[in-house]
Amino acid sequence: MSKYEDYNSASRNYDNQRFAMGSDVMAAMIQFHCGKPLKDLHVLDAGCGTGNYAKALIDYGVGQVTLLDASPGMLEKAKVKLADAIESGKIKEVVEATMPPIPFPDASFDAVMFNLVLHHIDTESSTEFPSVTHTLKEARRVTVSGGVILITTCLPTTISGDMWMTQLNMELSARFNRYNPSVEQFEKLFMAANISCVQKMNILGSSISKEYFNFEGPLDEAWRKTSSYWQLATETELEDIKRKITELKSKGELEKWARDHDNSDTAGVLTMFVCECK
Ligand SMILES: C[S@@+](CC[C@H](N)C(=O)[O-])C[C@H]1O[C@@H](n2cnc3c(N)ncnc32)[C@H](O)[C@@H]1O
């Protein structure tokens, strides 16, 4: 369960802004690396939230999806969104659980996906990420041999260098980044979990969030509530960020500053790892 975000409360605003960015690539990767048609595959959406990725995969033709999340509030939203798929059996199960462990028998799934979840798993920041290691070992255990594990994440380099809003206060970004493994740390985690990373890619653009380019967004509590990043901000940092935005706006320089500090179009904000289970 996340240390710094209350997802039962966040569930009320989450879908106002968030998209299943990269779900099309994910569907293609699952089909290619499992070597079977999507309709024959069962995918675990681990940390499914409000079910945006599960819905997208079902729309692309995945046969069955199981939902797992620690937050009853997020799961309630998912159940409403996916009511038809639950009724038709395309959603096989909806499970409330805190990872690790992953409460399913060995080899239950063809694919397991973690979308923007792993930075919430370790409740104490640690360069070793012990709970993420345990969770990935569990993901390997519940995935069939020949299956895949997919991870989407925002890398520390993305947070510190490529997104305009996270450059408003670098101390806050450094604190958030302690929960985000780097590429090198992910490589060690994959090795510990005995899975083999076969693709690493960035998805260009900013469609992770509908109001990504709302330059006054950080002034608005509802806007801040759709990203856990803001929950780590101290009052002083928040005041500093608000002052910076207000000053830039009053000088007519806010948009230029933000665009000058944003590389979402050329570097992307979302990184995807595709791992095979031998
Ligand atoms: C940023 S949201 C991502 C939701 C969804 N995957 C998406 O991309 O839209 C993170 C989700 O992970 C869930 N979560 C956090 N820690 C968890 C844990 N230890 N076990 C299960 N779910 C967890 C939260 O409840 C939340 O729904």
Q: Left (φ > 0), alpha (ψ -120 to 50) or beta: where does 116 sit?
A: left
Q: Is residue 54 part of a domain?
A: yes
Give the Å distance between the CA of 102 and the centre of ligand 1. Answer: 13
Q: Is residue 93 part of a domain?
A: yes
Q: Is residue 161 part of a domain?
A: no
The residue whose CA is least distant from atom 14 of ligand 1 is 47
Whether pLDDT at 67 is above 90: yes
The residue whose CA is least distant from atom 26 of ligand 1 is 49
Residue 203: what residue type? I
Q: Is residue 122 part of a domain?
A: yes
> What is the residue-averaged pLDDT of the chain?
95
* Share of residues in the chain with pLDDT > 90 (%): 88
Ligand 1 in reach of 18 Cβ (< 6 A): yes
Ligand 1 in reach of 143 Cβ (< 6 A): no
Residue 188 is inside which H or E element, if any? helix 183-192
- Radius of gyration for the chain, computed over Cα atoms and rounded to the nearest angstrom: 19
Q: How many domains does the chain have?
A: 1
* Share of residues in the chain with pLDDT > 70 (%): 99
Higher pLDDT, 113 or 127: 113
Q: Is residue 191 part of a domain?
A: yes
State the DSSP string of 19-53: --TTHHHHHHHHHHHHTS-GGG-EEEEET-TTSHH
pLDDT in tens, 166-175: 999 999 999 9
Q: pLDDT band at residue 1, thresholds of 50, 70 and 90?
A: low
Q: pLDDT band at residue 28, thresholds of 50, 70 and 90?
A: very high
Whether pLDDT at 13 is above 90: no
Q: Is residue 123 part of a domain?
A: yes
Domain span including residue 50 = 7-156+173-211+264-276
Q: How many CA atoms lie within 13 A of 278 on its CB side?
A: 8
pLDDT in tens, 214-238: 999 999 998 998 889 999 999 999 9
Q: Is residue 72 part of a domain?
A: yes
Q: Left (φ > 0), alpha (ψ -120 to 50) or beta: where does 146 sit?
A: left
pTM, to two decimals: 0.96
Least confident of 92-101, 200-209, 268-277: 200-209
Beta strands in the chain (DSSP E): 42-46, 64-69, 91-96, 109-115, 143-153, 196-203, 270-276
The residue whose CA is least distant from atom 4 of ligand 1 is 49
Rounded to whole angstroms, the Cα distance separating 38 from 159 reads 33
Rounded to whole angstroms, the Cα distance separating 91 from 260 reads 43
Rounded to whole angstroms, the Cα distance separating 188 from 267 reads 24
- Tell me, what's the pLDDT at 226? 84
**Structure token pair of residue 116:** 């923007």
- Tell me, what's the pLDDT at 123? 81
Q: Is residue 119 part of a domain?
A: yes
pLDDT in tens, 154-211: 999 999 999 999 999 999 999 999 999 999 999 999 999 999 999 999 999 988 899 9
Q: What does residue 117 show for φ and ψ, rounded to 5 degrees?
A: -120, -35
Q: What is the CATH number of the domain that holds 102?
A: 3.40.50.150
